[in-house]
Amino acid sequence: MQEKSHKIAQLSIELGKILKKLRNENTSLTLEKLAYEYDIPKGTLSKIENGKQKCLFVNLWKIAEAHGVKCSSVVKLLEDELGSDFKLMDE
């Protein structure tokens, strides 16, 4: 079970890095402006970008839209970053 928790944490950290990079490189949105315009609490966004909170799918969709990319593109970036052998579930 500890291995699964570690994998979930790793996924959250990598997703946060990707979302922060997208915000900093592709938009002029500050954390505050993104939070306000897309109705996501600023604290939640900060925790997601820092890998300290799991990202709800609806929030991922909103954040992707804010950055002008499809949600599937963010997932693809995450899959590429984690590698093809990454799995949350044991086989």
Q: What is the mean pLDDT of each run of 10 residues along the chain (91 residues)?
A: 80 97 88 94 97 96 95 97 88 66
Residue 55 and residue 36: Cα distance in Å, rounded? 17
Q: Determine how many CB atoms are found less than 10 A away from the CB of residue 29.
A: 18
Q: Domains, the chain, ranges and CATH?
A: 2-81 (1.10.260.40)
Q: pTM for this one?
A: 0.90
